[in-house]
Copies of this chain bind each other. A is one copy, B any other.
Amino acid sequence: MSFTELLPLTDVTACCAPLTRETISAEGADKLARTLKAIADPARLRLISMVAAHEDSEACVCDLTEPLGLGQPTVSHHLKILVDAGIFSRDKRGTWAYYRLVPGALDSIAQLLVTV
């Protein structure tokens, strides 16, 4: 019963209590920190923004390497981190790998930070 493909790390979604509503547990803090670390990088923020802006809201590595100004292995590395964190999904079609935002992933994170 491998949930891994269906719910990569989106247990962030499962977690509900906003940070400031009730005291977070050490484990919860660890998990949320890991997710935030995945986003807390300039290259990865730009990747998220670029993929969202790309046509059909998806992009392959070759679309991203040159505008980002980083090497292909580095871009692949960042994309893997985002996939592992449940932010991106990966769809391999032929020789290309297409990445897109997991719907609701960023919103789930945002809801944990909000205080209102």
A interface residues with partner B (beta carbon < 8 Å): 19-20, 22-24, 26, 29-30, 32-33, 36-37, 39-43, 45-46, 48-50, 52-53, 101, 104, 106-107, 109-111, 113-116
- Copies of this chain held together in the complex: 2
- Known pairs A106-B115, A113-B106; A46 contacts B24 (CB<8 A): yes
**Contacts known (A42-B30, A42-B33); A19 close to B52, Cβ less than 8 A:** yes
Asked whether A20 and B52 contact (CB < 8 A) given A36-B39, A36-B40, A42-B30, the answer is: yes
In the complex, what residues of B have CB within 8 A of residue A49's CB? 19-20, 22-24, 29
Q: Quick one: which of B22, B32, B43, B107 contacts A115, CB cutoff 8 A?
A: B107
